[in-house]
Structure 1
Amino acid sequence: MLKVISLLKRAENLSHEEFTKWVLQDHVEFARKLPGLRKYTVSVTNEDGAAYDSVNELYFDDDDARVAAFGSEHGKAAAADAAAHTTQRVHLLTTEHAQS
């Protein structure tokens, strides 16, 4: 399972509250339409002024599924929406190793 971790810094014209509403209500609609997406989580920072405002995790079966998802019409729309609401996005491709 491939996990994409996206660190998002809100656009300068958005308050922390406006960004939170956007990422939890509006942007999630784009994620729901990504083909091959297995799981999606969003964690919003608790404090204004943090290095990043949210950590989004997207799970795919493999890298081919990720590439297909973001190359799709919905993937391109999601990227455009994110670009319009952020000043910085960092994407980390990871494999999760659960420890108990």
Structure 2
Amino acid sequence: MYNLIVMASKPSDWTHEQFITWWRGEHAEVTYPLPGLRRWSHTAVKEAGGNKHSLGWDGVSVLSFDSKEAYDAMLESPEWAKAAEHVGSMGGRAIMVMGDEQVMVSDS
């Protein structure tokens, strides 16, 4: 799998709960149609683990594609343009990183 990992924080005038509701609701509706999207997990951040550098983040999403080529094709799609525009209108901040997934522990 090739993953897009997004760590995001809410706009300053939103609560954490408002942001998670937006991300898993309104924003999810424009994310589901992304071409080639094979898996999507979302974590609502509840604690920062005592590390001051980890403070200020509200959620993490991992969007998985079969390959970098599938990811690159998705980036050229109108669905991606719509999802990116939707995020831009929200006004929070985000870090995005991409790369190949290596499963280190499996539940099977």
Provide the identity percentage: 25
* 8 Å contact kept, 1:8–1:86: no
* 8 Å contact kept, 1:19–1:85: no
Q: Provide the rounded CA distance (Å) in 2 between the counterparts of 1:89 and 1:66.
A: 19
Q: Provide the rounded CA distance (Å) in 2 between the counterparts of 1:55 and 1:62.
A: 21
Q: Give 2:66's match in structure 1, choosing from 47, 61, 65.
A: 61
> What residue in structure 1 maps to residue 12 of structure 2?
12
> Could you say which structure has the larger radius of gyration?
2
TM-score computed with the length of structure 2 as normaliser: 0.81
Q: Provide the rounded CA distance (Å) in 2 between the counterparts of 1:7 and 1:86.
A: 14
Q: Provide the rounded CA distance (Å) in 1 between the counterparts of 2:39 and 2:30.
A: 13
Unaligned runs of 5+ in 1: none
Q: What number of residue pairs does the alignment pair up?
A: 100
TM-score computed with the length of structure 1 as normaliser: 0.87
> What residue in structure 2 maps to residue 77 of structure 1?
82
Q: RMSD of the TM alignment (CA)? A: 1.9
Unaligned runs of 5+ in 2: 48-53
